[in-house]
């Protein structure tokens, strides 16, 4: 079986554990085209398909992330890893400012930039959801703290 294969029960566990919301941008699955199981460390880089290396991600975050692990901090040229939903606390790296997701650390900055959290359409979408009390999701409110 390929290392990228994820059993049905494991997919279910990941979705439930995330309370059916994207663990990066905090949008609920019901408010976005789809959520997918993401390998935090991609299979290409040796990540495995265990619960500890998986998270739930919306289609937009997952597509932008691809097999990347991080990006460059252009202020100092250093390589910075992405936010890891299994190890990091959302509120220690990001803040919600209306519909904008602001980063408060280098990890937050590269994650928000590469996953394109504040793309115009996505921000507008969050704005509408906020007005309808559907963002952040109930589960995500705990993460924001
Ligand atoms: Zn997302």
Determine the distance from the C-alpha atom of residue 42 to the mean position of all C-alpha atoms in its chain, rounded to a whole number. Answer: 14
Ligand 1 center to 41 CA (angstroms): 16
If you search the block for the tokens 């299994």, which residue do you land on? Answer: 86
- Tens digit of each residue's pLDDT (9 = 90 or more) over 50-96: 999 999 999 999 999 999 999 999 999 999 999 999 999 999 999 99
In angstroms, rounded to a whole number, what is the distance separating the alpha carbons of residues 109 and 125?
A: 21
Sequence-separated (6 or more) residues with CB below 8 Å from residue 51:
10, 13, 14, 17
For 16-30, what is each residue's pLDDT tens digit? 999 999 999 999 999
Rounded to the nearest angstrom, the distance between the alpha carbon of 26 and the centre of ligand 1 is 6
DSSP 32-59: SS-EEEEESS-GGGT--SSGGGEEEEEH
Separation of CA 130 and ligand 1 centre (Å): 15
* 29 Cα–ligand 1 center, Å: 9
pLDDT digits (tens, 9 = 90+) for 95-142: 999 999 999 999 999 999 999 999 999 999 999 999 999 998 877 888
**Taking the C-alpha atoms of 65, 68, 73 and 76 in order, what is their torsion angle to the nearest 10 degrees?**
180
Q: How far is CA 142 from the centre of its chain?
A: 15
Centre of ligand 1 to C-alpha 143, Å, is 14
pTM for this prediction: 0.95
């Amino acid at each position: 079986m390929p290392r990228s294969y994820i059993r049905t029960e494991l997919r279910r566990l990941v979705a439930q554990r995330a309370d059916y919301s994207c663990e990066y941008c905090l949008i609920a699955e019901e408010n976005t085209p789809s959520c997918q199981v993401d390998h935090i460390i991609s299979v290409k880089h040796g990540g495995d398909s265990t619960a500890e290396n998986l998270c739930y991600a919306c289609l937009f975050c997952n597509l932008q992330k691809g097999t990347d692990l991080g990006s460059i901090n252009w202020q100092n040229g250093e390589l910075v890893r992405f936010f890891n939903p299994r190890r990091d606390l959302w509120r220690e790296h990001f803040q919600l400012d209306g519909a904008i997701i602001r980063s408060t650390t280098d990890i937050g900055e590269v994650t928000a930039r590469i996953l394109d959290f504040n793309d115009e359409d996505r921000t507008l979408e969050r704005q509408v959801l906020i007005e309808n009390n559907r963002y952040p999701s109930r589960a995500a409110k705990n993460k924001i703290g």
